[in-house]
Amino acid sequence: MAAAPALRDSARAAAQGARQALGGSFAAICKWERERGRLRVLVNVGELAPGEQEFPDDETYPVHAFAEIVGFLHEQWAGGGEPSAWVEVAEGESGGDAADGPLVPPGGPGRVAALRRRGRGCCVVAPLVLHGRAWGELYVARRPGEPVFGRADADFATVLAAVTAAGIAQTERLAEARRLAFTDALTGLANRRAVDMRLDEALEQHRADGVVVSLVVCDLNGLKQVNDSQGHAVGDRLLERFGSVLSLCGALVPGTLAARLGGDEFCLLAVGPDSDEVVKVAGELCGRAAELDLGEGVAVGVASTGDPIGPVHSARRLFRLADAAQYRAKAAKSGGPVVAGRHGGADDPVVRLADAPEPSAGPERRRFRR
């Protein structure tokens, strides 16, 4: 589980290990989605019944069909007790009444029916508890005719579930750390680090296969005036609202990455669509930004390998071209995007500006980013 890159891989490792440890023919890990009132299967391993998949897209079960998830898995330890596993047995399977016999909670018709329907003889179900709350369950089953799980198996499954829950908690912490590393905290968009990584990958595709890569750079107009006259809280609200508009427009082109580069600078990175489609989205962005009741619209520059901008060997060049186009849009107070290369190719003033030596200093000159 520690080596797993994502939750589903971590869950698979745990289910496979628990199946082997308990001598089961099948195992699954489910998550309790409280807001939807259902158990969602994350992974199935071992002998799959017809219709079951290792990583199901949407295998869910309503909690009311398995009410023990609320009672036996949660309220049982609300008063200070400890969560523990239990056993379900299909009709016709012998279980015995010895002291080491199966621990079966009252009821459970949903699971009994599922055992019969899927050709399994018994199962042990153990709660997965994260941060003191029921998170989901570990489920291990055996074939009909094999020994029914006993109390010792249930106790062992409880221990395995605790180990699994610790692994899932670690996976979630690592996922959150990765998310924070590539996410802008204020807007929830991608951050500059995410753009740099995706752009480098995209340009490798461009060099290898000719995939079109387009960059839309946006500068939110009027943020300083809003901050100075109405306060930074209002300015932050403007950034958040524009971030939502950017995300909405980016969604018009599948696979587009919407990001905040820092301060009042944002961008869209599109990989695959032709440049005309991206320019159309940039125009939509300008229109929607102009309708915001805060700020003064947005200055937008576009640079795409699908336009005559010359060879793009690095992320730096594409950024310089998009920056230069955005600079022209701001200087002209353009209500629409300025697109590099569309007014003369290599002789386009935007392309010449991008290819000029970088300014050495001066707050009045726009710096070109990496």
Q: 302, 282 in Cβ contact below 8 A?
A: yes
Alpha-carbon span 74 to 68, nearest angstrom: 8
Q: 194, 183 in Cβ contact below 8 A?
A: yes
Alpha-carbon span 132 to 168, nearest angstrom: 14
Alpha-carbon span 78 to 80, nearest angstrom: 6
Query: SS in 3 state form for 63-131?
Result: HHHHHHHCCCCCHHHCCCCCCCCEEEECCCCCCCCCCCCCCCCCCCHHHHHHHHHCCCCEEEEEEEEEC
pLDDT in tens, the chain (370 residues): 888 878 889 999 999 999 999 999 999 999 988 777 788 999 999 999 999 999 999 898 876 666 565 554 444 444 455 678 888 888 766 554 434 444 555 445 667 777 888 899 999 999 898 887 788 899 999 999 999 999 999 999 999 999 999 999 888 888 777 777 888 888 889 999 999 999 999 999 999 999 999 999 999 988 888 888 889 999 899 999 999 999 999 989 888 999 999 999 999 999 999 999 999 999 999 999 998 888 788 999 999 999 998 889 899 999 999 999 999 999 989 889 999 988 876 677 787 787 777 655 444 344 444 4
Radius of gyration of the chain (CA): 29
Q: Write the single-letter amino acid at 242.
A: F
H/E stretch holding 7: helix 7-21
Cβ neighbours for 279, distance < 8 A, ≥ 6 positions apart: 302, 304, 337, 339
Q: Angle 315-331/192-209 helices, nearest 10 degrees?
A: 110
Where do runs of H (alpha helix) occur along 182-222? 192-209
